[in-house]
Copies of this chain bind each other. A is one copy, B any other.
Amino acid sequence: MPPQIAVLRYGHRHVRDYRVTSHCCLVARAFGADKIEIEGEEDKSIPQTLESINERWGRGAEIEFVDSWKKRLEHYSKNGYTSVHLTMYGLPLQNVEKELRKKEKLLVIIGSQKVEREVYEKSEYNVSVTLQPHSEIAALAVFLDRIFEGKELSKKFPKAQIEVEPVNKGKKIRKAK
């Protein structure tokens, strides 16, 4: 069984981070996370967007704004989650992915531009995807793709109203089977 995944987005700033946080949430859902929590300035439009996607494209991760990343990390740790902070300064993904895949539950922490030192210290793992500066959205996607060994690419989302009919040209959507 692959691990259960909760994603904690750290330090969301209203307006400024809207699109990047939205992309993080959509990626967490599409790549099979079970839960998304956002720490920072609350913006109801982000859960609304995700909810409307969950209604049309099938039930995936639910989203929630939370007050304190520290309390949430403690909560998850007590509940058997191994915490993994994605950062360009951490251990290379390819060196730890096998080990992480065996865990029962993972809490994946992704930061915005500035991350407090405490996040590095309190996370059990700090993991890097390439050791180069890039994007927390990309890091999350590649991390989940590796943890789920590609199986998430064909994940079925329950109670979908519509689904894509894959074609090499154009766009086809059908009623979900």
Contacts and interface: CB of A to CB of B under 8 A. Distances in A.
Interface of A: 19-20, 23, 26-27, 29-31, 53, 57, 60, 87-94, 117, 120-121, 125-126, 128-135, 137-142, 145, 150, 152-155, 157, 163-164, 166-173
19 contacts: A20-B20, A26-B132, A27-B134, A30-B132, A30-B134, A53-B133, A57-B132, A89-B167, A90-B166, A92-B153, A92-B154, A94-B150, A94-B154, A126-B169, A131-B163, A134-B141, A135-B141, A137-B138, A139-B141
A170 B125 CA distance: 11
Q: How many copies does the complex hold?
A: 2
B19 A126 contact: no
